[in-house]
Structure 1
């Protein structure tokens, strides 16, 4: 099972929340993602929550390509 230090990837206001709460949070809950960037993700891809971002097919495709490159 993967582990992650939530304090390293989330804004302080979200670091003590449950994973379920974080997945329902706006993408701006992620450290380094501004409200404006979240708005742009919503406009471009319909992304409103962290879960939406995680499920975005383009993210999966990019991750698969990166893994293929790393495996060579």
Structure 2
């Protein structure tokens, strides 16, 4: 798996946190995700944390479809 530049995917306040802290963080810890976006994700899908978002079946399905397309 490729390395990830945390400064590119996390808000500054979260970039120096441990992985367990990041996974337990609200989704607004992700760069480009607002507090309101987080509220809407919770309302629509029950997503409260970065880990919840990563485990969301719709995200996994979309990733699998994108991988299939990339493999062709």
Divergent runs of 4+, >2 A: none
CA shift digits 1:31-64 (9 cap, x unpaired): 0000000000000000000000000011000000
Equivalent residue number for residue 41 of structure 2 = 41
2:54 is aligned to 54
Number of equivalent positions:
72
Aligned equivalents of 1:41, 1:59: Cα separation in 2: 12
Write the distance in 2 (CA, Å) between the matches of 1:34 and 1:70: 29
**Residue 9, structure 1, aligned to residue 9, structure 2:** yes
How large is the Cα RMSD of the aligned pairs? 0.8
2:67 aligned residue? 67
- Structure 1 distance, partners of 2:47, 2:58, is 12
Residue 39 of structure 2 is aligned to residue 31 of structure 1? no
Structure 1: gaps of 5 or more residues: none
Gaps of 5+ in 2: none
Secondary structure at 1:20 match in 2: helix
